[in-house]
Amino acid sequence: MSSKVTQAGYKVIVDVEKINRLLTQLNDKEAKKAIKAALRKSILVIRKGAQSNLVSLFPSANKSVTKGGIIHKPLKNDINIAVYRNASGARIDLLDKRKKDSRSYILRFIELGTTERATKKGANRGNMKAYNFFGDAVTAKKTEAESMLEQNIVDAIKKIVNKK
């Protein structure tokens, strides 16, 4: 039996019976760990796509930067993924408020662009065009990540079962 889950306007088809049969071999903690690992592996596909889009637009996003004696990691590494603790899902975003030295706000400017700006005295500061590297990666890789999810869950469960 397959179940269709509708969320945010798209459907994901998963073979629930097969996964439930495998999950009965695990306790709750192990099952949660397996599902989180599968979610993380599936969402990495979108992150890699966004990183490659960013580097193709801005090759310098692949290199680390030193400013004021502080070494910043490459800008492409500021694309953040997070798997929810209760294993109910995952998210990928550009703003990471958890890290003190994050430069991910720059990614937001690259993705969305900026409007024409001026100082109080009227000096022009220009604008920045929107490149949509992140949105393009999400639309291109979303179906691939969804199709990989079921297989990743099965693989993660089998990996934990084989360790026992």
pLDDT band at 154 (very low <50, low <70, confident <90, very high): confident
Q: What pLDDT was estimated at residue 19?
A: 79
Q: Which domain holds residue 56?
A: 2-163
Name the more confident of 4 and 97.
Answer: 97
- 92-130 per-position pLDDT tens digit: 988 877 677 778 889 999 999 999 988 999 899 889 999
Looking at the structure of the chain, the number of domains it has is 1
DSSP 153-164: HHHHHHHHHHH-
Cα dist from 55 to 17, 44, 63, 114, whole Å: 41, 16, 10, 20
133 vs 154: CA distance, rounded Å? 31
pLDDT digits (tens, 9 = 90+) for 34-89: 889 999 999 999 999 999 999 999 999 999 988 888 888 899 999 999 999 998 88
How far apart CA 164 and CA 158 sit, in angstroms, is 10
At residue 72, the 3 state secondary structure works out as: strand
Going by pLDDT thresholds of 50, 70 and 90, the confidence category of residue 22 is: confident
pLDDT, position 6: 45
For the chain, the first-to-last Cα distance in angstroms comes to: 28
Q: Alpha-carbon distance 78 to 110, whole Å? A: 13
